[in-house]
């Protein structure tokens, strides 16, 4: 004998759920994986490509659709599409434990690789291997924050390593070329201001309409030099020759 399920139950599998509590009730929508963030950032604008099904649920895993009365009580006169957009914008994205662990593992690996590309042994100016950096990150107590951008976490990780790990590290130097175009003589004071921010002056050349200098700098000085040129020499520009100046790798 066939089993009759309630007509308001729809079974869904392999979904991402966005949940919003409002008016004392829980409301959920069933979305395709990875589409929620694309919708929130404006990359994806078509709801049909975000939703597995265009209905509001009280429990997606059980297939229980929200009652019309509950939706009106919580959201007023808004129609279902408007309610879905509201849940997408304001709701919490529910992530399964295995998926969360996988995302954290991938994010930590990305942070690890970026840190390993960005720091060197101060004594030799050589990059450390990823294995050495991995051990140092654990020693320093670094933990991944899933809601924080990778770039910000790389900088935070480097700070932690400098403060708490036994591994001596220094941010790898950038190699840049500063070019000052001119129709007049460039004052020595301006050249000195540029060179002041360098760890090493590689070379400098001067022509009737241009002064160029190649420098090794701490990455943190890049913005300082950009601001200097913007304020005092608008015709100047900076070109990146190398993102990291190193002399090889330190293996584990």
Residue 121 sits in the same domain as residue 142 = yes
Quick one: 234 and 207 in the same domain?
yes
Determine which of 109-113, 226-230, 232-236, 239-243 has the lowest per-residue pLDDT on average: 239-243
d(CA 223, CA 210): 22
Domain final residue pick, 140, 155, 170: 170
Q: Is 99 helix (H, G, I), strand (E, B) or coil?
A: helix
Q: Do 77 and 121 sit in the same domain of this protein?
A: no
Please report the pLDDT score of residue 250 as a whole number: 59
Angle of helix 188-196 relative to helix 221-232, nearest 10 degrees, comes to 160
Q: Tell me the pLDDT tens digit for each residue of 21-48.
A: 998 999 999 998 778 888 988 889 899 9
Same domain, 29 and 77: yes
Residue 11 lies in a domain: no
| Residue at 165 is within a domain | yes
DSSP string, 20-49: EEETTEEEEEEE-TTHHHHHHTTS---HHH
Q: Are 134 and 112 in contact (CB under 8 A)?
A: yes
Instruction: Tell me the pLDDT tens digit for each residue of 59-114.
Output: 988 889 999 999 999 999 989 999 999 999 999 888 766 777 888 999 999 999 99
Paired tokens of 100 = 């969360």
Residues 197 and 142 in one domain: no
User: Is residue 101 in a domain?
Assistant: yes
CATH of the domain at 77: 3.30.1250.10
Instruction: Provide the residue range defining the domain that includes 233.
Output: 173-246
Query: What pLDDT, on the 0 to 100 scale, is given for residue 14?
Result: 57
> Domain end: 48, 70, 94, which one?
94
Q: Are residues 20 and 88 in the same domain?
A: yes
Task: Residue 146: give its domain's CATH number.
Answer: 1.10.10.900
Q: How far apart are CA 214 and CA 119, in angstroms?
A: 21
Beta bridge partners of residue 65, listed in sequence order: 57
Q: How far apart are CA 126 and CA 129, in angstroms?
A: 10
154 closest CA partner among 137, 168, 129 = 137
> Residue 57 and residue 11: Cα distance in Å, rounded?
11
For residue 63, what are its two tokens? 């297939």
- SS3 assignment, position 137: helix
Same domain flag for 87 and 22:
yes
């Amino acid at each position: 004998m066939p089993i009759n399920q309630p007509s308001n139950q729809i079974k869904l599998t392999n979904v991402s759920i966005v949940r919003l509590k409002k008016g004392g009730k829980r409301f959920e929508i069933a979305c395709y994986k990875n589409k929620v963030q694309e919708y929130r950032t404006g990359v994806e604008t078509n709801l049909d490509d975000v939703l597995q099904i265009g209905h509001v649920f009280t429990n997606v895993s059980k297939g229980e659709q929200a009652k019309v009365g509950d939706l009106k009580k919580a959201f007023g006169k808004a129609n279902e599409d408007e309610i879905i957009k509201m849940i997408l914008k304001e709701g919490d994205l529910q992530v399964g434990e295995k998926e969360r662990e996988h995302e954290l593992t991938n994010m930590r690996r990305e942070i690890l690789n970026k840190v390993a590309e960005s720091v060197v042994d101060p004594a030799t100016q050589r990059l450390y291997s990823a294995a050495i950096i991995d051990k140092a990150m654990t020693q320093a107590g670094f933990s991944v924050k899933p809601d924080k951008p990778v770039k910000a976490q790389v900088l935070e990780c480097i700070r932690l390593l400098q403060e708490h790990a036994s591994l001596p590290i220094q941010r790898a130097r950038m190699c840049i070329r500063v070019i000052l175009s001119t129709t007049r003589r460039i004052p020595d004071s301006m050249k000195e201001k540029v060179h002041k921010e360098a760890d090493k002056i590689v070379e400098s050349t001067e022509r009737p309409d241009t002064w160029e200098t190649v420098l090794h700098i701490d990455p943190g000085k890049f913005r300082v030099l950009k601001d200097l040129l913007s304020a005092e020499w608008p015709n100047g520009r900076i070109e990146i020759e190398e993102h990291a100046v190193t002399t090889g790798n330190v293996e584990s």
